[in-house]
Structure 1
Amino acid sequence: MKCPRCGEETILEKVCPQCGKTVNEDVCPSCKIPTVGYTRQPVNFRVLIGEACKKLRVSPPKIVKGVKKLMNKTRVPEILEKGVLRAKYGLFVFKDGTVRFDATNAPLTHFTPREIGVSVSKLRQLGYSHDVEGEPLKNPDQVCELKIQDVVIPRKCAEYFVRVAGFLDELLTKVYGLSSFYNVSSEEDLIGHLVVGLAPHTSVGILGRIVGFTDLNVCYAHPVWHSAKRRDCDGDEDSLMLALDTFLNFSREYLPAQIGGIMDAPLLLIPVVNPKEVQRQAHDVDVAAFYPLDFYRKTWENARSKDVSHIIDIIEHRLGTEAQWEGFHYTTPVSNVNSGVRQTMYKRLTTMLEKLNSQLELAEKIRAVDAHEVASKVLTTHFMRDISGNLRAFSTQAFRCKSCNKRFRRVPLRGKCPVCGGPLTLTVYRGGIEKYLDAAEHLIKKYGLGEYYAQRIMLVREEINSLFEGKKPRQVSLVDFA
């Protein structure tokens, strides 16, 4: 990091969090505790933001959002110029310094230029010279095969990325003294630019290329591309980032210094997706133009899918050959890939109880589904395990310092953090234990799931009440024991 005054490289000074002395060692010789590269001090943000705006030659924004405190190891912050520019473009920043757009995954292997809102000439520039029949691409209704790392993004995402591109260009020119890169004035200008896809709880981004847009709130991409993110294309929601934003603004230094801090961050990037290395669910995708007669005969025998997979053209059979990349087919054409639901019910419904009731209402309408069995599985495999696990986690939880985020297995004798003297707090709370309790009781009563489960829930509720209620000391007399 360079000094904002003279431009020279800065040197990290280490300070003892207890005595406040500046030392050049990892452990304070006096207090015998680890030193840190930060300390509490007053900061005049009004002056700093004013200087940043002057450097950027922009008016001070009405609101510049920040965080209550830094949680990374060295407490190093971003330069304020980035925050000012993001505020100017109405952008939100993630913990690692990147700007993201979340979209629901949807698999796509074929499309027409008209469906994704891109001209034939533009697609030809991107390498789509022929349609699936091998004919030269000339009109917007010809069917094309989607390349493995090409993505079709939502219009809302494109609108957001136009602002992100403007932010990045201004950052390049006004802060780093470089030429602008995107020069985007409309959504169509994003065609051909690279993005990074990232799934939650992972640390590897997957490179993709924007080739079109959809009015649906989904990210259309090849099943292999979604699977490379460690997703099985079942409607999960992942993040998209402009590639330059990832390269320019991501820093591991910004990530929280705690368990799970490096998750959801693009620590690594896969530039080329190898179909052999993705999850097996993608290998089971059938890419046949038609199903052979033997397949239909096997359905009368109730044959297992794995016993008939050898007669169906699936991706697994193509691995290790040139056919693993392209030449995929489909059995059922559609009028328009954008004719589906614009937004999933899972996003429209706000509470878990609403989502659960909606799922069970659907189960009751489908004759092939046993709603009682669905309710039983939700209760036993999800709710009961979650409630019991959180209750156990509460009784065995650690304690965390609010100031330095240090964790302790037991409460220190002094009642505060021995490292920095900050206050301590719990890591598991009552709300986390009770969040599914009412929903579980609702399932048991509505579907009559048995006295066993009703009693288990009753015992859990009693245990919760014994933990959180009646803790105030009560004066008793001998008469109370009579």
Structure 2
Amino acid sequence: NCDGDEDAIMLLMDGLLNFSREILPANRGGQMDAPLVLTTRLNPTEIDKEALNVDAAWFYERQFYEATLHQPHPKDIADTMDFVERRLGSVAAVRGYGFTHDCNRIDEGPELSAYKTLATMIDKMNGQLNLCQRLRAIDARTVASSVIRSHFLPDLRGNLNAYGRQKVRCLKCGHSYRRMPLAGHCIQAQKAGGRGLSAHGIARSEGGLCNGRLALTVSEGAVRKYIEVTKHVMDTYGVDTYTRQNMEWLAGSV
């Protein structure tokens, strides 16, 4: 998988072949993120700081593996690592980066990831967590808890909040309301006919109410979509007590 190399080539070709000032919006901010300037020389001292944290070593020293037994803070052993930052000022800053696998063609990777080929979210979670169960270095229960806390729970909270504060929209005239009218239907004043009568001195009269049917703008399915898969993950792979109680409380609120 050479996603980084593919992205670099695609971004370069996008700037060279797929760009023109004529397609930039004229409004404010229209030139943001546009490839107006292409850099031809790479200066490692001028790039984003996080790129200086790239591990460029060809191998790790024995003391690195021994340090993992004590689980120190990464900063405590940073001096033993061969980061790009330590190569600044030398030719090695842009050459001689270590890697683990040779690659002759960057387009030989999978065209579709399993996230696209697997149909349902339950299938996707089973695929991820079944792999975790096969790997000795990974605790499937910890991964399941992390996915629920970082993805499913925030999504459920956000959608539940949006559902409670949503507007309603008239399917007939398109008018939206911040609160559902007590009448239960659209109360927007509807203008009556009278087109062409103004030439005869007859004013245009106002009609009755629209009385159109109102519809929600946030569906119930958007709130419930991850509840089933979350319960499946909790019952099948297990999660910590805090995550389970938090999810059960939110699901009960729905």
TM-score band by shorter chain is 0.5 to 0.7
Q: Which residue of 2 aligns with 1:13?
A: none
1:433 to 223, 241, 249: 223
Q: 1:10-409 alignment to 2 at 5 Å?
A: 106-108=3-5, 151=9, 197=11, 208-209=12-13, 241=14, 243-247=16-20, 250-252=23-25, 267-270=32-35, 271-272=38-39, 276-278=46-48, 280=50, 282-292=51-61, 294-299=63-68, 301-318=70-87, 321=89, 326-334=94-102, 336=104, 338=106, 341-398=110-167, 409=178
Q: Tell whether the 8 Å contact from 2:167 to 2:216 is kept in structure 1 after alignment.
A: yes
Change in Cα spacing, 1:388 to 1:364, as seen in structure 2 (3 Å) is same
Q: In structure 1, give the amino acid aligned to 2:34.
A: L
Offset of residue 359 of structure 1: 0.7
Alpha-carbon offset, residue 326 of structure 1: 1.7
The Cα offsets for residues 28-73 of structure 1, whole Å up to 9 and x where unpaired, read as xxxxxxxxxxxxxxxxxxxxxxxxxxxxxxxxxxxxxxxxxxxxxx
Residue deviations 1:168-223 (CA, integer Å, cap 9, x gap): xxxxxxxxxxxxxxxxxxxxxxxxxxx5x3xxxxxxxxxx14xxxxxxxxxxxxxx
- Match of 1:107, SS state, is helix
> AA paired with 1:456?
W
Deviation at 1:310, TM superposition (A): 2.1
Q: Distance in 2 between matches of 1:402 and 1:249?
A: 39
- CA deviation profile, 1:120-178 (whole Å, cap 9, x unmatched): xxxxxxxxxxxxxxxxxxxxxxxxxxxxx952xxxxxxxxxxxxxxxxxxxxxxxxxxx
In 1, distance between residues paired with 2:217 and 2:26? 24
Q: Letter of the 1:252 partner, please give it.
A: P
> In 1, Cα distance between the equivalents of 2:214 and 2:90?
59
The one-letter amino acid paired with 2:33 is L
What do residues 272-319 of structure 1 show as CA deviations (whole Å, max 9, x unaligned)? 377544362x33211234445554554455443322222322123345
Tell me how far apart the structure 2 counterparts of residues 289 and 448 of structure 1 sit (CA, whole Å): 38
Higher-helix-fraction structure: 2
Structure 2 residue matching 1:442: 3-state secondary structure:
helix
Going from structure 1 to structure 2, the CA distance change for 1:400 and 1:106 (only over 3 Å counts) comes to farther
> Counterpart amino acid of 1:278?
D
Contact 2:56 2:84 (C-alpha < 8 Å) held by counterparts: yes
Q: Distance in 2 between matches of 1:318 and 1:403?
A: 67
Take 2:153 and 2:234, find their aligned partners in 1: how far apart are those partners? 11
Distance of aligned partners of 1:244 and 1:289 in 2 relative to their CA distance in 1, 3 Å threshold? same
Instruction: Tell me how many residue pairs correspond in the alignment.
Output: 221
Give the C-alpha shift of residue 390 in structure 1: 0.8
TM-score of the superposed pair, with normalisation by structure 2: 0.63
SS at match of 2:95: coil
Provide the rounded CA distance (Å) in 1 between the counterparts of 2:120 and 2:72.
40
Match of residue 204 from structure 2: none
1:452 to 231, 242, 245: 245
The alpha carbon displacement at 1:350 in A equals 3.1
Per-residue deviation at 1:425?
5.7
Task: Return the letter of the residue paired with 2:153.
Answer: M
Q: Is the 8 A contact 1:441 1:457 kept in 2?
A: no
TM-score, normalization: structure 1?
0.37
Change (3 A) 1:444 1:105: same
Shift of 1:383: 1.7
Distance 1:322 1:329 in 2: 13
Matched with 1:43 is: none
Q: 5+ residue gaps in structure 1? A: 1-103, 109-115, 117-148, 152-194, 198-207, 210-240, 255-261, 464-482
Identity, % of aligned pairs? 29
CA contact (8 A) 1:387 1:434 kept: yes
RMSD, aligned α-carbons: 4.5
Distance in 1, Cα, partners of 2:91 & 2:103: 27
Distance 1:423 1:372 in 2: 47
Decide whether aligned partners of structure 1 residues 252 and 409 sit closer, same or farther in structure 2, where only a CA change above 3 A counts. farther
**Which structure 2 segments of 5+ residues have no match?**
191-209
Q: Is the CA contact (8 Å cut-off) linking 2:166 and 2:218 kept in structure 1?
A: yes
Structure 1 residues 444, 107: closer, same or farther in 2, change over 3 A? Answer: same
Shift of 1:407: 7.3
Higher relative contact order (CA 8 A, sep 6+): 2
Superposed displacement of residue 343, structure 1: 3.6
